[in-house]
């Protein structure tokens, strides 16, 4: 049985140990130690990384009753020095304990219980039993503020195995699933004992690594929420991740401000104005394309019989151009089998007068697209599709127009 040093001292990052055995698990070499400060993955918290006897530790997993330290190469033997990656450990401590404080705030302020937690490489998530409708912006900000108040008060944190009597006296946020180790947050009671109920911030069973005081978390930021089953998934960040996210957001905001040539505070208004102007220009372009398509249809309508051929779009958007010209020809009582090429891809549009007798354009276009290695189809009076190459396009269009 390996002595779990990370439980007794979460700040311990360097230690001496003896390799008890080596293993190969899942094709990966690993070492079993008599004692370790490396935290194995579990409870939503990723494993520690670092070095063992000078060899990189790339993963730590609990397999059966053993803690396996997976190494980059052959594991060391004998007496070894272990070194835990300090930056990774601090990040995990901040995210994990921040989750405890945030869960306590959600339960206390919104009556929303935490069902699961995931500590990701970039962000963290909480899954709550409350629907998104119950967690509007005002509620989220109040919960976030309450969680940060726990951080800023720099409250004591106790993480240890509790006696049955101690467990019975504490209002645990969830029932223990394994063992009796509980993380307790709050000012200690008389004689340094566990906090009294009125001084208790949170008490939750957990086997992860936690700080000695809440101030280590630094800050907690709720980013966004989304529906998750019948409940809600909350995305959040803690500690150093909040600082990095703020810097990244500031850089993105400044880049947008530079692009709009305005102050950072004016970006929302500038973006809204740009979207509105783009919508007006798009409508104007659509009107222009429709007028050009009608003129092109009038020119093509001078031909006899079904009209087939390749079009040259006057503006980007070959599919829309072929569709507009084909439909304009159909309005003039003509059958059209048209194609246009953009970026090497063929776009087809076949049309005939609506309600009139004539060939099934959907079936005709499907066959034409298939002969070009593409797909398409549609209704009896209008169909469209595309193909990856234009080789043989004119012959295919002429053949489609000649069919009865």
Between residues 165 and 273, which one has the greater pLDDT? Answer: 273
Those residues whose C-beta lies under 8 Å from the C-beta of residue 94, and which sit 6 or more positions away, are 211, 216, 217, 218, 238, 239, 240, 241
Residue 311: per-residue pLDDT: 86
Q: What is the pTM of this model?
A: 0.77
Q: With 70 as the cut, is the pLDDT of residue 168 above it?
A: yes
Could you name the CATH architecture of 90-247?
A: 2-Layer Sandwich (3.30)
Residue 175: per-residue pLDDT: 82
Residue 359: per-residue pLDDT: 87
Lowest pLDDT segment from 13-17, 136-140, 191-195: 191-195
Q: With 70 as the cut, is the pLDDT of residue 22 above it?
A: yes
Q: What is the mean pLDDT of residues 157-163?
A: 91
Residue 213: per-residue pLDDT: 96
Q: With 80 as the cut, is the pLDDT of residue 191 above it?
A: no
Tokens describing residue 59: 């993963």
Between residues 191 and 254, which one has the greater pLDDT? Answer: 254
Q: What is the mean pLDDT of residues 49-77?
A: 96
Q: With 90 as the cut, is the pLDDT of residue 29 above it?
A: yes
Residue 268: per-residue pLDDT: 95
Those residues whose C-beta lies under 8 Å from the C-beta of residue 222, and which sit 6 or more positions away, are 102, 140, 141, 143, 144, 234, 235, 236
Q: What is the mean pLDDT of residues 332-353?
A: 93
Residue 255: per-residue pLDDT: 96
Looking at the chain, the whole-number percentage of residues with pLDDT higher than 70 is 100
Give the Cα separation of 317 and 352 in Å (integer). 22
Q: What is the mean pLDDT of residues 229-247?
A: 97
Give the Cα separation of 111 and 105 in Å (integer). 9
Q: How confident is the model at residue 135 (pLDDT cuts 50, 70, 90)?
A: very high
Chain mean pLDDT for the chain? 93
Residue 91: per-residue pLDDT: 97
Q: What is the mean pLDDT of residues 149-156?
A: 97
Between residues 69 and 390, which one has the greater pLDDT? Answer: 69
Is residue 321 within 8 Å of 293, Cβ to Cβ?
yes
Q: With 60 as the cut, is the pLDDT of residue 54 above it?
A: yes
3-state secondary structure of 346: strand
List the chain domain ranges: 3-84, 90-247, 284-402
Residue 130: per-residue pLDDT: 97
Q: What is the mean pLDDT of residues 291-313?
A: 90
Give the Cα separation of 243 and 102 in Å (integer). 18
DSSP classification of residue 171: -
Please report how the helices 393-402 and 361-371 are oriented relative to each other, as an axis angle in degrees rounded to 10. Answer: 150
Q: With 80 as the cut, is the pLDDT of residue 177 above it?
A: no
The string of pLDDT tens digits covering residues 73-101 is 999 999 999 999 999 999 999 999 999 99
Q: What is the mean pLDDT of residues 187-216?
A: 90
Residue 340: per-residue pLDDT: 93
For the chain, the 3-state helix, strand and coil shares in percent, each to the nearest 5, are 40, 30, 30
Could you name the CATH architecture of 284-402?
A: Roll (3.10)
Q: What is the mean pLDDT of residues 199-228?
A: 95
Q: With 60 as the cut, is the pLDDT of residue 404 above it?
A: no
| H or E segment and range at residue 57 | strand 55-63
Task: Specify the fold of 3-84.
Answer: Elongation Factor Tu (Ef-tu); domain 3 (2.40.30)
């Amino acid at each position: 049985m390996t002595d779990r040093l990370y439980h007794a001292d979460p700040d311990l990052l360097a230690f001496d140990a003896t390799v008890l055995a080596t293993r190969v698990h899942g094709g990966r070499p690993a070492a079993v130690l008599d004692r370790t400060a490396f935290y194995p993955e579990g409870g939503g918290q990723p494993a520690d990384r670092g070095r063992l006897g000078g060899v990189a530790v790339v993963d730590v997993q609990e397999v059966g009753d053993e803690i396996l330290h997976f190494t980059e190469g052959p594991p060391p033997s004998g007496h070894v020095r272990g070194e835990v990656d300090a930056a990774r450990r601090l990040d995990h401590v901040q995210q994990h304990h921040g989750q405890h404080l945030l869960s306590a705030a959600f339960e206390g302020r919104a009556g929303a219980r935490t069902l699961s937690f995931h500590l990701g490489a970039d962000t963290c998530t909480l899954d709550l039993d409350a629907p998104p409708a119950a967690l509007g912006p005002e509620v989220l900000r109040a919960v976030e503020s309450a969680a940060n108040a726990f951080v800023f008060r720099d409250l004591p944190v106790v993480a240890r195995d509790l006696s049955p009597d101690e467990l019975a006296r504490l209002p645990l946020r969830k029932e223990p699933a394994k063992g009796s180790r509980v993380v307790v947050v709050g000012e200690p009671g008389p004689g340094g004992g566990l906090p009294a109920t009125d001084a208790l911030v949170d008490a939750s069973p957990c086997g992860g690594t936690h700080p000695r005081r809440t101030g280590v978390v630094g800050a907690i930021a709720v980013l966004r929420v989304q529906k998750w089953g019948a409940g809600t998934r909350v995305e959040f960040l803690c500690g150093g991740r909040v600082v990095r996210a703020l810097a990244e957001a500031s850089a993105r905001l400044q880049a947008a401000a530079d692009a709009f040539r305005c102050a950072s505070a004016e970006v929302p208004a500038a973006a809204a104005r740009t979207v509105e102007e783009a919508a007006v220009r798009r409508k104007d372009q659509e009107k222009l394309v429709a007028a050009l398509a009608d003129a092109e249809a009038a020119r093509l309508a001078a031909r006899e019989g079904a009209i087939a051929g390749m079009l040259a779009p006057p503006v980007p958007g070959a599919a829309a151009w072929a569709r507009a010209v084909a439909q304009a020809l159909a309005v003039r009582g003509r059958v059209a089998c048209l194609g246009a090429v953009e970026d090497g891809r063929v776009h087809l549009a076949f049309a005939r007068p609506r309600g009139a007798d004539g060939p099934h354009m959907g079936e005709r276009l499907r066959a034409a697209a298939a002969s070009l290695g593409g797909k398409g189809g549609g209704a009896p009076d209008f169909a469209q599709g595309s193909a990856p190459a234009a080789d043989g396009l004119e012959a295919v269009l002429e053949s489609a127009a000649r069919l009865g």
